[in-house]
Amino acid sequence: MTLIPGETAIKIWNDSEELECVSVLPEVPNVMTFCFQAPSRAIFDYQPGQFLTLEIPVPGGPLYRTYTISSSPSRPMSITVTVKAQPESIGTRWMFDNLKPGMRIKAIGPTGSFTNANYPAEKYLFISAGSGITPMMSMTTHMYDLGRDCDIVFVNCARRPSEIIFRERLEHMASRVHGIDLKWVVEGADKYEPWTGYQGFFNQLMLGLMAPDYLEREVFCCGPEPFMTAVREALAGLGFDMDHYHQESFSAPIEEVRDIPEDELPEEGATAEIEFSGSGVTQKCAETDTVLAVARQAGLNIPSGCTFGVCGTCKIKKVSGEVHMVHNGGITEDDIAEGYILACCSNPRGHVIVDA
């Protein structure tokens, strides 16, 4: 790189460096935004809508939790995740109670394919519920910051108006450009606060009123699985071309029935052996075991998140041997070509050596 005198090289953050929490911002009840910077002051390079996996140091051993990035790559000096603490959550609750400015935390990523950058279109329809609004916020902020004309119908569903995340910031952006059309849907109004927007549950009738040209739009959907199922079925029932429908989910996807040649499937009763070269451990196992499960049996810790091939946290290098891998988008074809596998969804065949 050639530098002009007085200039310094721009460093891009990668996950070998911990993140420093620099601020914590309450959003709505049980939702907080955590803002991070790189201690080296490296900047962040990612696609809007991608996610990070955080290593959360809870008592008893680290947990790996995947969170969509809520900030925009057009503002690269920091990166934020906006998270909701569910009643049963452990990792997110730890963040609420313990993660403060000045603390450092390990992160893996950014990664993920749920981004409008992969699907350029003239018109978008973003549909979300609850904290599923975070990737839509990132994508919308990115398009707003670019300064070009955009055409986004932005639908978000919440229980009450006071629980709509990012409402003020989105309304500010929408007040500055013509191309961001906000549609809020709530189950009920807040006490003593009149509500004149949509009320009830998102349905086909609302869709037709909100975006009469929905058939012409690239649709992105994020929220609880039942919500996304309802949206998907509503669109399919209206004749929408589902090639233009994309959804984000960190829950186990519905398995698609597809024909796999028998000689590619792990053989029931057949044995295999995995050599973990970085640890000097070799473990016998069945071909039906996953590399991740065998590592855990051997007492080794391979970081993992979703465990069904979506988040990519358990990506490791395969040094030699063959595996049967059925993932759900958590690894790229380039990674596979370079010899990487996802430990959570790879079954060994014969003797396999991995760098772990």
Give the C-alpha separation, 165 to 128, whole Å.
11
Contact status, residue 174 vs residue 181, Cβ threshold 8 Å = yes
Q: In this structure, are residues 132 and 247 in contact, taking their beta carbons and an 8 Å threshold?
A: no
Distance of CA 311 to the CA centre of its chain: 7
Burial-class residue 103 by CB neighbours within 10 Å (0-12, 13-18, 19+): middle
Dihedral angle over CA of 335, 285, 55, 312, nearest 10: 30
Secondary structure (H, E, C), 259-291: CCCHHHCCCCCCEEEEEECCCCEEEEEECCCCH
Question: Angle, to 10 degrees, between the axis of helix 167-176 and the axis of helix 133-146?
Answer: 30
76 close to 97: Cβ distance less than 8 angstroms? no
How does strand 51-56 pair with strand 104-111? antiparallel
CA atoms within 13 A on the CB side of 5: 0
Give the pLDDT confidence score for residue 180 in this predicted structure: 98
Dihedral sign for Cα 70, 71, 74, 76, please.
negative
The two structure tokens encoding residue 219: 């649709």
- Where do runs of H (alpha helix) occur along the chain? 91-98, 133-146, 167-176, 204-210, 225-237, 291-297, 333-337
Per-residue model confidence as pLDDT tens for the chain (356 residues): 445 565 567 899 999 999 999 999 999 999 999 999 999 999 999 999 999 999 999 998 899 999 999 999 999 999 999 999 988 889 999 999 999 999 999 999 898 889 999 999 999 999 999 999 999 999 999 999 999 999 999 999 999 999 999 999 999 999 999 999 999 999 999 999 999 999 999 999 999 999 999 999 999 999 999 999 999 999 999 999 999 999 987 655 555 545 555 566 667 788 999 999 988 999 999 999 999 999 988 988 888 877 778 777 888 999 999 999 987 777 878 889 889 999 988 999 999 999 98
First to last CA, the chain: 34
C-alpha–C-alpha distance, residues 136 and 134, integer Å? 5
- What pLDDT score was predicted for residue 270? 87
Is 14 within 8 Å of 78 (Cβ atoms)?
A: no
Residues 6+ apart with CB under 8 A from 229: none
The 8-class DSSP code of residue 40 comes to: T
| 3-state secondary structure (DSSP) of residue 211 | coil
What pLDDT, on a 0 to 100 scale, did the predictor assign at position 252?
Answer: 54
Please tell me the distance from the alpha carbon of residue 300 to that of residue 296, in angstroms, as a whole number.
5
pTM of the predicted model, to two decimals?
0.83
Which phi and psi (to 5°) does residue 136 adopt? Answer: -65, -35
pLDDT at 263: 60
Residue 1 has a pLDDT of 46
